Amino acid sequence: MPRHFLTGAELSRDELDALLDRALQMKREPLAATPLSGRAVALIFEKPSTRTRVSFEVGVRELGGQPVVLRSDEMQLSRGEPLRDTALVLSRHVAAIGVRTGEDRIVEELARHSSVPLVNMLTAGHHPCQALADLLTVREACGTLDGVRVAYVGDGNNVARSLAVLGAIAGLEIAIASPPGYSLEGSLELPEGAAGSVTLTEDAREAVRGAQAVYTDVWVSMGDEATADQRRAALSSYRIDDALLDAAAPDAFALHDLPAHPGEEITAEVLYGERQRIWDQAENRRHAQKALLELLVSP
Query: 33 with 137, same domain?
Result: no
Per-residue confidence (pLDDT) for residue 78, from 0 to 100: 82
Q: Name the residue range of residue 154's domain.
A: 129-281
Q: State the average pLDDT over residues 45-63.
A: 96
Q: pLDDT of 19-49, one tens digit each?
A: 999 999 999 999 999 999 999 999 999 989 9
Number of folded domains in the chain?
2
Per-residue confidence (pLDDT) for residue 242, from 0 to 100: 98
Per-residue confidence (pLDDT) for residue 292, from 0 to 100: 98
Per-residue confidence (pLDDT) for residue 243, from 0 to 100: 98
Q: State the average pLDDT over residues 178-201.
A: 94
Cβ burial 193-207 (10 Å sphere, 16+ → b, else e): ebbbbbebeeebeeb
Q: State the average pLDDT over residues 71-87.
A: 90
Query: 62 with 140, same domain?
Result: no
37, burial (CB in 10 Å: exposed 0-12, middle 13-18, buried 19+): exposed
Query: 271 with 292, same domain?
Result: no
Query: 119 with 134, same domain?
Result: no
- Report cis status (omega within 30 of 0) of the bond before 67: no
Amino acid at 133: A
Cβ contacts of 237 within 8 Å, gap of 6 or more? 179, 204
H-type alpha helices, 74-219: 83-91, 104-113, 128-142, 158-170, 204-208
Query: 57 with 180, same domain?
Result: no
Query: 122 with 146, same domain?
Result: no
Q: Is the Cα torsion angle 66, 67, 72, 77 positive or negative in sign?
A: positive
Count of positions (residues) in the chain: 299
Query: 196 with 137, same domain?
Result: yes
Query: 87 with 161, same domain?
Result: no
Q: pLDDT of 133-182, one tens digit each?
A: 999 999 999 999 999 999 999 999 999 999 999 999 999 999 999 999 99
